[in-house]
Amino acid sequence: MKYRAKIEVSLKPGHSDPEGETVARLLKELGYMVDAVNVSKVYNVLIDAQTLREARSKAEEMAKRLLANPTKDNYTISVEEQK
Amino acid sequence: MKYRAKIEVSLKPGHSDPEGETVARLLKELGYMVDAVNVSKVYNVLIDAQTLREARSKAEEMAKRLLANPTKDNYTISVEEQK
């Protein structure tokens, strides 16, 4: 079966986010009232697995081993069956 | 009032996604059965607005004017009141 995992990796609070700061500045220059912008990255991964549980556990491993840096990143995972 | 808008910008289908291809290759090298990886970017923007409707309309404008390139990007927006 195929499962679609969405792994969102964001900076932990307190870490500087230069891209977010730049976007916030540009939005203010365009006249928008924004307070803060944080940029995160989403990896949409199509996984082969037997069960949803297995797919979720694989996605968790991928985040830990490759996609997120435990020193500076948080991540969230959602998995659903691919229609 | 403060609203938290989540603007997710992804490549339109058919556009090459070198970062996604690299991640897919690395995941395969690590032994995972993955088919495809697409990378998208999420801008979490804290917006000042009177109503949810106004916040959503501002977020839509921001995506069109600054965050997404209509030639190559799709975007989705979700907005909720900041607690």
Among B1, B43, B54, B78, the strongest candidate for a mutation testing the A interface, having the largest count of A CBs within 10 A, is: B43
Contacts from B71-77 at CB under 8 Å and sequence distance 24+?
B72/B11, B72/B12, B72/B15, B73/B9, B73/B10, B73/B11, B73/B12, B74/B9, B74/B10, B74/B11, B74/B12, B75/B7, B75/B8, B75/B9, B75/B10, B76/B7, B76/B8, B77/B5, B77/B6, B77/B7, B77/B8
> How confident is the model over A42-54, as a mean pLDDT?
96
Q: Is the pLDDT of residue A26 over 90?
A: yes
- Give the span between the Cα atoms of B41 and B48, in whole angstroms: 22
B39: helix, strand or coil: strand
* Among A33-37, A43-47, B20-24, the least confident range: A33-37
A28: helix, strand or coil: helix
> How confident is the model over A43-61, as a mean pLDDT?
96
| Partner-chain contact B30 A58, CB within 8 Å | no
Pair type for strands A73-81 and B34-48: unpaired
pLDDT score recorded for residue A5: 97
pLDDT score recorded for residue B15: 92
Contacts of A81 (CB under 8 A, 6+ apart): A1, A2, A3, A4, A52
pLDDT score recorded for residue B48: 94
B17-47 residue pLDDT tens: 999 999 999 999 999 999 999 999 999 999 9
List the domain boundaries for chain B: 2-81
Interface ipTM: 0.88
B61-82 residue pLDDT tens: 999 999 999 999 999 999 999 8
pLDDT score recorded for residue A81: 95
Phi, psi (5° rounding) for residue A22? Answer: -65, -45
pLDDT exceeding 70 applies to what percent of chain A?
100
Confidence of residue A76 (pLDDT cuts 50, 70, 90): very high
- Give the span between the Cα atoms of B20 and B8, in whole angstroms: 16
- CATH 3.30.1280.10 for domain A2-81: yes
Task: Give the residue among B30, B33, B55, B53 at the shortest CA–CA distance from B45.
Answer: B55
Q: Is the pLDDT of residue B83 over 90?
A: no
Out of B30, B34, B43, closest to residue A45 by CB: B34
| Partner-chain contact B44 A47, CB within 8 Å | no
pLDDT score recorded for residue A83: 78
| Partner-chain contact A23 B49, CB within 8 Å | no
